[in-house]
Structure 1
Amino acid sequence: MPPLKIMKTVSAVSFIALAAALALYYLTDIHIFKVLAISFGTVFYHFYVRLIVGIYIDKVKQNRADITRPWYRIRPWETRFYKRIGVKNWKDKMPTSFPEYYDLRKHSPEELAQVTCQSEIIHEINVLISAGALLGAIPFGMFPVFFLSSLAAGCFDMIFVVMQRFNRSRLLPLIERQRAMEARNKP
């Protein structure tokens, strides 16, 4: 099942489970239904918010990020870090919502670099939004549930930030070589 469909399905199922657990808690006042409602609510929050952020950024940016902006620059230490953690060995095993965006047969290296910038922004926003789930601990208590779900979700998104920056670090030299070749071939 494609990752986007999984996210939509998990969002829908967790929302239904949240509603059922809440209803059972209010009808019976049995504590386990409150725990289940909080658990399903945090799952719903983390999946649904990621869908909304991704859809919104896709509509706004349309894979046309400015790859020259300072935020997107790869720092010298990053290349060493990516090599040390072996990004090249595991990045292709991670899910991709829109694999067609990353196809070099359909897109230029510059277009792919723009996609990596947009995807990086989506995942960085998701890291920040993960912390928003902590606010659920105010009315419901159970801080450890909210903290652990926020931490896990934020760390998961950081994996994708690292992947996008790694991919861009490999695309940028290719883009520079293409630009140099084009400049040499101009009359």
Structure 2
Amino acid sequence: MPKVCLFFMGKSCPSLNNPFFRVRSKELTLYRLLGIRWWKDKLPVMPGGELDRKKLSKNITPEYLIQMITATCSTEVIHLVSGICGFLSIGFVLLLPTPLPYIPLFSVIASANLLFQLPFIAAQRYNRARFWRLRAALMKMGKTV
């Protein structure tokens, strides 16, 4: 699924100015209430991906943080599209001779798929806000970490 999403997104990165990727303060409050800080690192990460903890640079610059912010946007889109695509299965059920008995089952499966994607989406949005704050602090100091 990630390769399919990236194919349709193309080589261009998502626009960081897009309001969809802006993290709202109420979201951050919700993430704090959910304790995302404590469980986000336990979520599986695609090995070798841009956000793989083993590949993170030790030299953090504002430019590097922009790369990380862009990666969180791409990853968020991938998880959102994966969650929404689960509902396409209901369309395929309609091709069956007697689809009605299967629609509730496929609806539950598609809904569960979307629910399973939500923690990954929340982690990307939470991290993106942190990267923006860190970048602003670095720019203010004119240094790297």
State TM-score, norm by structure 1: 0.62
Residue of structure 1 equivalent to 2:120: 160
> Structure 1 residues 99, 170: closer, same or farther in 2, change over 3 A?
farther
User: What's the C-alpha RMSD, in Å, of the aligned pairs?
Assistant: 2.3
> Structure 1 residues 51, 168: closer, same or farther in 2, change over 3 A?
closer
Which of 13, 27, 36 is residue 78 of structure 1 equivalent to? 27
What percent identity do the matched residue pairs reach?
22
Residue of structure 1 equivalent to 2:104: 144
- How many matched pairs? 132
Q: Supply the distance in 1 between the matched residues of 2:128 and 2:117 (Cα, whole angstroms).
A: 17
Q: Supply the distance in 1 between the matched residues of 2:8 and 2:73 (Cα, whole angstroms).
A: 11
Q: Kindly provide the CA deviation profile for residues 118-160 of structure 1, in whole angstroms up to 9, marking residues without a partner as x.
A: 1111112222212111112212321122112111111112221
For the pair shown, which has the larger CA radius of gyration, 1 or 2?
A: 1
Q: Supply the distance in 1 between the matched residues of 2:10 and 2:40 (Cα, whole angstroms).
A: 26
Residue of structure 1 equivalent to 2:58: 105
State TM-score, norm by structure 2: 0.78
Q: Supply the distance in 1 between the matched residues of 2:36 and 2:120 (Cα, whole angstroms).
A: 10
Residue of structure 1 equivalent to 2:86: 130
| Paired residue type of 1:171 | F
Indicate if the aligned counterparts of 1:136 and 1:146 stay in contact, CA closer than 8 A: no
Name the structure, 1 or 2, with higher relative contact order (CA <8 Å, separation 6+).
2
| Paired residue type of 2:14 | A
| Paired residue type of 2:127 | N
The SS at the match of 1:139 is coil
Where does structure 1 lack aligned partners over 5 or more consecutive residues? 1-49
> Structure 1 residues 106, 151: closer, same or farther in 2, change over 3 A?
farther
| Paired residue type of 2:79 | H
